Amino acid sequence: DVQLVQSGAEVKKPGESLKISCKGSGFDFTNYWIGWVRQMPGKGLEWMGIIYPRDSDTRYSPSFQGQVTISADNSISTAFLQWSSLRASDTAMYYCARSPSLVVATRNIFDIWGQGTMVTVSS
Amino acid sequence: DIQMTQSPSSLSASVGDRVTITCRASQSITNYLNWYQQRPGRAPTLLIYAASSLQSGVPSRFSGSGSATDFTLTISSLQPEDFAIYYCQQSYTIPWTFGQGTKVEVK
């Protein structure tokens, strides 16, 4: 089965660091872009950024540039989203999703999604 | 960033109804428009890509149309499993942006 499996829920305190993961299986991880999407409680979807694991080409939304770091490790077919200093406003569900392309209309899509990782930041 | 505006924000409908959701982009995105469905407590799933192409495995009661700045998602005959939130998304330029969502509720 083609799937993305994300790491489990996290509860952290403000100021702590965190790295969550998204592991791909059933497809060539290096042939796809892996994106991250935030969904704050009761709110809509926000595109955070995307990485091409083959060469680590990474693009960020201006809203998230400098706030998070996206990375990937091809050897374990896993993408990561990390924070160096969490805030309460980072409390949200985070989804990873796969895209075949960034330049072709029929392939600029999130066709496979992870199950989501809930991050709760509270003192 | 390109702004995506959906209407309505919510609607009430009955099983068997025809439902139409619209999405407007703040500038032309040609056909770089996708639709996703999100059921409660679940990750989104892709319904329509490139404005009008049906994703594999998605029922044919879902259809999409439009180009440039104005797009439509239509559900021809609403089924119980279709009560969910629907999002449009432009993938014309980074950052890809989503509409605010349209919640389809039981009437």
Reply yes or no on whether the pLDDT at A102 is more than 90: no
Residue in B closest to A110 by C-alpha: B46
CB contact under 8 A, B44 and A63: no
B83 touches chain A (CB under 8 A): no
Dihedrals φ, ψ of A89, to 5°?
-70, -5
More reliable by pLDDT, B57 or A107: B57
Q: What is the pLDDT of residues A60-79, one digit of tens each?
A: 999 999 999 999 999 999 99
CB contact under 8 A, B96 and A108: yes
What is residue B44's predicted lDDT score, i.e. its pLDDT? 98
Residue in A closest to B91 by C-alpha: A108
* Residue percentage of chain A with pLDDT more than 70: 100
CB A121 within 8 A of CB A87: yes
Q: For the residues B93-103, what does the mean pLDDT come to?
A: 97
CB contact under 8 A, B36 and A63: no
Cα A50 to Cα A66, A100, B34, distances in angstroms: 14, 12, 17
Q: What is the pLDDT of residues B39-76, one digit of tens each?
A: 999 999 999 999 999 999 999 999 999 999 999 999 99
Reply yes or no on whether the pLDDT at A103 is more than 90: no
Q: Would you call A13 helix, strand, or coil by DSSP?
A: coil
- The 3-class secondary structure across B16-62, one letter per residue, is CCCEEEEEEECCCCCCCEEEEEECCCCCCEEEEECCCEECCCCCCCE
- The span from the CA of B43 to the CA of B37, in Å, is 9
